[in-house]
Amino acid sequence: MTRAFQWLIPHPLLTLILTIVWMLLQNELSAGMLVFGFILGIIIPWSTSIWWPDTPKGFRLGKMIRYSFIVIWDIIVANIEVAWIVLTVPSSKLKPAWIVVPLELREPEAITMLAGTITLTPGTVSADLSDKGHSLLVHVLHTDDPDAVRDDIKTRYEARLLEIFT
C-alpha cells in the first residue's frame, strides 16, 4: 500500500503545490478544478521524477511556514532600512563589504533556500558558493560590523533551516 502510494505520489508536497497553483491560475474555487489540479499534481511529479533523484529526507512543514513568516517580516523591516540608506547615505560614505558565511547545511535544497533568503532580505546579496560548497559569499550594502551580519545570518536563518531539513 505504501509502495503504491509512493509510486503514485513521489512528492506529496509538490502535488499539493501544483494543485494550489492550478486553482489560482484558473481563478475559481470549484470541485472540478480541484480534481483537475490534483490530476496534474499527480502526472507532473510522476513524469518528471527522473530529474528529482533524491528527495530531502526530512522536511518539517510547520517550521517552514513559521520560517517564511519570519522572512517576510525581515524583508519588510530591511526594505525600510535600505530605503533609508539609499536616501541618506552619500555613495562616498557607503561601506560595502564581502562576507564569507561558513555553511553547516549540506543539502543543495537547503543551501538554495538560504541563498534565496539572503538575497530577498534587502542589504545583502548572496553572490557565490565556494567550489566544494562549504562557504557562501555574501555582499553587504552598508555595514560597520561585518562579523555581526555573518553571525546574524547564521543564527537567524541557518539554524532554523538546519531544523527544517533534518
Partner 1 sequence: MTLLIIGTYFVGITLLIGSGFILVGVIGLLKFNDPMTRLHAPTKVGTVGIGMLLIASIVHSFDLGEPSTHELLIMAFLFVTAPISANFIAKVNIHRRACDTPPAPPRDDTWSTLNVEEET
Instruction: Using CB under 8 A, list all residues that contact partner 1.
Output: 21, 24-25, 27, 75-76, 78-79, 82-83, 86-87, 91, 94, 96, 98, 100, 102, 115-116, 118-120, 122-123, 125-135, 137, 139, 141
Please report how close the Cβ of residue 4 comes to partner 1 at its closest, in angstroms: 31
* Spatial distance between the Cα atoms of 50 and 28, rounded to a whole number of angstroms: 32
**What count of Cα atoms within 13 Å lies in the side-chain half-sphere of residue 162?**
10
Q: Quote the DSSP letter at residue 92.
A: G
Nearer to partner 1, 5 or 144 (CB): 144
Q: Is 144 exposed, middle or buried (0-12, 13-18, 19+ CB in 10 A)?
A: exposed
Please report how close the Cβ of residue 46 comes to partner 1 at its closest, in angstroms: 22
In the numeric block, the cell 475559481 is attached to: 28
Nearer to partner 1, 45 or 114 (CB): 114
* Spatial distance between the Cα atoms of 15 and 20, rounded to a whole number of angstroms: 9
Nearer to partner 1, 10 or 146 (CB): 146
* Spatial distance between the Cα atoms of 61 and 23, rounded to a whole number of angstroms: 21
Let me know: does 154 contact 106? Beta carbons within 8 Å: no
Nearer to partner 1, 4 or 31 (CB): 31
Nearer to partner 1, 9 or 23 (CB): 23
Please report how close the Cβ of residue 91 comes to partner 1 at its closest, in angstroms: 5
Please report how close the Cβ of residue 110 comes to partner 1 at its closest, in angstroms: 14
Nearest alpha-carbon partner for 124 in 100, 88, 104, 92: 100
Please report how close the Cβ of residue 75 comes to partner 1 at its closest, in angstroms: 6
